[in-house]
Amino acid sequence: MKAIILAAGKGTRLNGVDLKPKCLFEVGGRTLLDRQLAALAACGINDVRLVLGFEAERIRRRCPPNVSFVSNSRFEETSSLYSLWLAREHLADGFVVLNCDVLFHPQLLTRLLSAPFADALLVDLVDKQNNELGDEEMKVKIEDGCVVDIRKDLAPAEADGENVGVVKFSPEGAKRLIDEMDSLISRGGCERDWAPRAFRAYALRYPLHAISTEDFPWIEIDFPADYQRAEEEILPRIEAMTESYTR
């Protein structure tokens, strides 16, 4: 299985911290990219493709030899759906895709990859009666263990959880997803959409299983406040849980 890391964006909403590629932000002295590569390697995945755009050369210099690259020269005017579509020739044998701005406990990747389902995504489940999901979260609706909707403008009351940004597809699922992306891109108007637009199109036709994060910590780092929370709350929880796992 290959890994695709989507890392083309500029991350302008993090400008309050620093203007650099989001995957090169350091949490606890290690970049998000380094942490994701280590988690992939621990799961036996060393064939990694990074989709690059903003400051691509800066990222290339920080990558080990097993990482190769796909270029999104239109990163200023497109989003993650287009980036994933550009990597389509690398997807057909099955893959796991990660957003580069997610800090997560490595066990979450293990849970996803070891789940007995061919095609699945990680979901942070919420209490539907007391959830705090808002406009920013990529919300997920689940029925019978499968995703039936995924979008930011889903009403919080209808959402069962939040998309983590880590998804796997089998060879058959990957081919189906490529078809869905081809259709979305060819009809126009979708190049600025996030990759979950394609996952939603897939889930409307084929089973896409939801894998719960359980109590394992994670955070998507979009804003300076997210970065601060990653340093002060999420990373200490990850380290504490990792230590308990290795005792």
CATH of the domain at 152: 3.90.550.10
Residue 26 belongs to domain spanning: 2-246
Mean of per-residue pLDDT scores for the chain: 94
Which pLDDT does position 135 carry in this prediction? Answer: 86
What is the pLDDT, as a whole number, of residue 18?
Answer: 58
What tens digit of pLDDT does each residue of 74-91 get? 999 999 999 999 999 999
Quote the CA–CA distance of 163 and 219 in Å, as a whole number: 11
Q: DSSP label at 75? A: T
Q: Distance (Å, rounded) from C-alpha 91 to C-alpha 206?
A: 17
- Number of domain units in the chain: 1
**% pLDDT > 90, the chain:** 85
Q: Hunting for tokens 């490529």 — which residue is that? A: 178
The model's pLDDT over 114-133, given as tens digits with 9 standing for 90+, comes to: 999 999 999 999 987 777 89
Lowest mean pLDDT among 11-15, 66-70, 124-128: 11-15
- In terms of pTM, does the model score above 0.85? yes
Predicted confidence at residue 20, as pLDDT, reads: 85
Instruction: Render pLDDT for 155-192 as a digit per residue (tens, 0 to 9).
Output: 998 999 999 999 999 999 999 999 999 999 999 889 99
Question: Measured between alpha carbons, how far is 208 from 237 in angstroms, rounded to an integer?
Answer: 29
Phi, psi of 117 (to 5 degrees): -130, 140
Strands 209-212 and 120-125 turn out to be parallel
Q: Is the dihedral of CA 177, 133, 209, 109 positive or negative?
A: positive
